[in-house]
Amino acid sequence: MSISAQGGGTGPDTQDRRPTASTAGRATPTGAIAGRNASAAGGPLDRLRGVRTAVVAAVRRQPPGAWLIGLAAAVVYSVFSVTQWNLLDSPSWDLGIFTQLAKAYAGLDAPIVPIKGEGFNLLGDHFHPLLVLLAPAYALAPSGLTLLIVQNLLFGLSVAVVTRAGMRLVSPLAGMAVGVAYALSWGLQSAVAAQFHEIAVAVPLLALGLEALLRRRVLPAVLWGGALVFVKEDLGLTVIALGLVVAWRLRTAAGLWLSVWGALWLIISVRLILPALNATGQYDYSDRIDVGGMIADPAGAVVDLVSGAPKHETLLLLLLAGGFVVLRSSLSLVLLPTLLWRFASGQEGYWGPEWHYSAVLMPVLFLALVDAVHTLRRSRRGWVRAIALIGVPGAVAASLVLLPTQKFAVLAEPATYRQSERWDPAHRMMNLIPRGATVESGVVLMAYLVPDTRVYWLGNTNPAPDYLIVDAEDWSWGPVRPADAEAHAEQHYPGADYTTVFDEAGYQLVERQR
């Protein structure tokens, strides 16, 4: 119903509505006036209908192609994760750590993670309070695999958002091509293969915030971007850069306030929260960057920043994935904070394209590509418009050419879909451990043990556990693995008496005798 039909408004349909001879003397019943007023005010049912109408309209505005590509991406990621899970492939201890965190949150407890150490509060390691959102999913399906599926769905959501932005700003076909290239990007593949990390939440937040920026929607851009500070402390730097881009592109002070917000939480988390919750009273990663050395020798710091083959590989892969034209977009500035802290660090593991560190760069990179192509297409210069034409095809071609060298290449191998030969003995062994018992293990079986037991990592100083596992194929031991689990356990925990209760397929399980 239009405003004018309710007796108000000044729209075109209200003009020249003067009383006619047939209506001038006609009285309007009081009940009709009351009914119209009630309708205008709207009761709870009317408001509910209005919300439903708005939701339906929003859904109808969604391009189906974007969500189909996002769903397909999530399925591919999940297939990879399930095969990895069935092969007992654990590239790091992080999945076990975050599974313990999700278990604690699901039990309405503080995120105490014994894998990191007895009584270790994971909020004293990195600042990621948004991971409390894992609690419902873990409570519904308590497993480390649940975290992998959640991460894959979040990545799939980001694929849908990036695809949607491309379809709206460039063209439906080009947008879907960008979405496929993004879904198969090396940064997301590496993150899926590295298993769960807190950046799983950051990737869709960045996609949503940058998409809102491209659509010139200030409030959503600020809200989505502002939430990044609760994913990981270093993302405060990204929020600072994002805020400056919002302020410059949309000419709004809200962007400057977003930058202040990012800087504030960076300081609060690193200087106050993390040291307060850390057992040593410090931020454990403060020594990763030699700030004093960089200030003392700025020229040398600049040279070091761009030196090293892994850094060159990362930069080249970024340019290839973005079709090179990404540099035309101001969104590419949001890449800088992550690249700078990684390249300035003395930890070589941060420099290259491996692991999960580049996942947060991918939505920025591909939305910068969309923005650059959108801008270049409107140029009056023919050669500039020609560059725009090669942007998307270049990104898609790079994605396909790189595919055989990336993590998902194993999906073309039949052996990937076979369950590990050690799966059955591993689970027979784990089933011997009573629920609630404490168990010390290497990395490989941690995530499988966490739902039912209290797990410690063999590399820490732990209280004597109820059970101890020696896995002859677990890389946690290094080059030398104990041949006799009983002897190892009793030597490691003097005064404790352990007895072997399982010895098969390279697994030894010993139980502490009371």
Last residue of a domain, one of 346, 379, 414: 414
In contact, 204 and 158? CB cutoff 8 Å: yes
Q: Within this chain, do residues 440 and 490 fall inside the same structural domain, yes or no?
A: yes
3-state secondary structure of 129: helix
Structure tokens at 163: 């695809």
Q: Which residues contact 288 (CB under 8 A, 6 or more apart)?
A: 345, 346, 347, 350
CA triple 217-221-222, angle to 5 deg: 120
Residues 395 and 448 in one domain: no
95 and 233, same domain (yes or no) = yes
pLDDT for position 245: 98
Give the domain range for residue 278.
Answer: 62-414
Residue 186: per-residue pLDDT: 95
Residue 48 lies inside a defined structural domain of this protein: no
Element (H, E) at 447: helix 446-449
Q: What is the CA radius of gyration of the chain?
A: 28
Indicate whether 99 and 134 sit together in one domain. Answer: yes
DSSP lists the bridge partners of residue 112 as: 121
- The verdict on residue 50 lying in a domain is no
**Quick one: which of 485, 507, 505, 504 has its CA closest to 496?**
485
> What does pTM read for this prediction?
0.88
Specify whether 292 is located in the same domain as 359.
yes
User: Which residue(s) pair with 503 in the sheet?
Assistant: 508
What residues are paired with 454 via a beta bridge?
A: 438
Q: Which residues pair with 441 in a beta bridge?
A: 457
477 vs 445: CA distance, rounded Å: 13
Q: Identify the residue whose tokens are 């960089």.
A: 294
Other beta carbons within 10 Å of 11: 11
Confirm whether 55 is domain-assigned: no
Q: Tokens 């039949």 identify what position? A: 414
Place of tokens 């994760």: 81
Query: Do residues 473 and 409 share a domain?
Result: no
- Give the pLDDT score at 387: 81
Whether 20 maps to a domain, the answer reads: no
How do beta strands 438-441 and 454-457 pair?
parallel
What domain count does the chain have?
2
Domain shared by 442 and 410, yes or no: no
| Same domain (yes/no): 408, 435 | no
Report whether 265 contacts 236 (CB < 8 A). Answer: yes
Same domain, 459 and 507: yes
Mark 119-146 as b/e (b = at least 16 C-beta within 10 Å).
Answer: ebbbbbbbbbebbeebbebbeeebbbbb
pLDDT at 42: 63
Mark whether 288 and 190 lie in a shared domain: yes
Please give the chain's pLDDT, 514 residues, in tens.
Answer: 333 333 334 333 433 433 443 444 444 454 444 444 544 456 788 877 778 777 777 777 889 999 999 999 999 999 999 999 999 999 999 999 999 999 999 999 999 999 999 999 999 999 999 999 999 999 999 999 999 999 999 999 999 999 999 999 999 999 999 999 999 999 999 999 999 999 999 999 999 999 999 999 999 999 999 999 999 999 999 999 999 999 999 999 999 999 999 999 999 999 999 999 998 999 999 888 888 888 888 888 888 898 999 999 999 999 998 878 898 999 999 999 999 999 999 899 999 999 999 999 999 999 999 999 999 888 888 877 888 888 899 999 999 999 999 999 999 999 999 999 999 999 999 999 999 999 999 999 999 999 999 999 999 999 999 999 999 999 999 888 899 999 999 999 999 999 999 999 999 999 999 8
